[in-house]
């Protein structure tokens, strides 16, 4: 099923999809900035949007920038609510410990996802229903599969 959502746009360069089937539309910088190692900066895109009620836009990192240069979005995903009309600005962070990274005006710096939103109705209760997981949180399921957790034995009988 293909659904199109009309998003009113004001700005320099409209977000665009690089390939058919892409979920994220590229956002580009309107300014030049150099991020020193460990530095963050809020970068303008020159884009303001008007989403229909029931939708949200999420600003997420570009995988190539993250993998090749350590550039990520600090508050990922950045949430653009349907009622927001200001410029979409992206908080970028250079996670590289040694190399600065320069961004030029027109560079693709992040992606914008437009998604439907379900509004929750929060109901106060005295107790939550039980589950198998219960209150197990970070690390509660381990970090290896059950097979990988067992020591392996080689043909000579030596543990690997």
- Mean model confidence pLDDT for the chain: 87
Token digits for 70? Answer: 């350590």
Give the pLDDT mean for 23-31. Answer: 95
Token digits for 103? Answer: 């961004």
Prediction pTM value? 0.80
The per-residue pLDDT for 71 is 97
**What are the residues facing 41 on neighbouring strands?**
92
Band the pLDDT of 136: cuts 50, 70, 90. Answer: confident
- The CA distances from residue 76 to 4, 7, 57, 110, 122, in Å, are 24, 21, 12, 10, 24
Domains annotated on the chain, with CATH: 8-116 (2.70.40.10)
Residue 1 has pLDDT above 50, yes or no: no
pLDDT digits 0-9 by tens, 32-83: 999 999 999 999 999 999 998 999 999 999 999 999 999 999 999 999 999 9
- Beta-carbon neighbour count of residue 91 at 10 Å? 16
Please tell me whether residue 35 adopts helix, strand or coil conformation: strand
Peptide bond into 77 cis (omega under 30): yes
Q: How far apart are the first and last CA of the chain?
A: 49
Backbone angles phi, psi at 109, to 5 degrees: -120, -20
């Amino acid at each position: 099923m293909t659904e199109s959502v009309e998003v009113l746009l004001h700005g320099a360069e409209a977000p665009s999809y690089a390939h058919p089937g892409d979920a994220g539309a590229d956002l580009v910088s309107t300014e030049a900035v150099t991020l020193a190692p460990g530095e963050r900066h809020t970068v303008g895109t020159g884009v303001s949007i008007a989403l229909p009620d029931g939708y949200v836009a999420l600003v997420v990192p570009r995988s190539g920038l993250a993998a090749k240069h350590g550039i990520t979005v600090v508050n990922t995903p950045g949430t653009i609510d349907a009622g927001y009309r200001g410029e979409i600005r992206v908080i970028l962070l250079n996670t590289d410990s040694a190399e600065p990274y320069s961004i030029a005006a027109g560079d693709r710096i992040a992606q914008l996802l437009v998604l439907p939103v379900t509004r929750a109705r929060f109901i106060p209760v005295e107790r939550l229903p039980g589950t198998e997981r219960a209150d197990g949180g970070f690390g509660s399921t381990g970090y290896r599969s059950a097979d990988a957790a067992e020591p392996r034995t080689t043909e000579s009988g030596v543990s690997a």
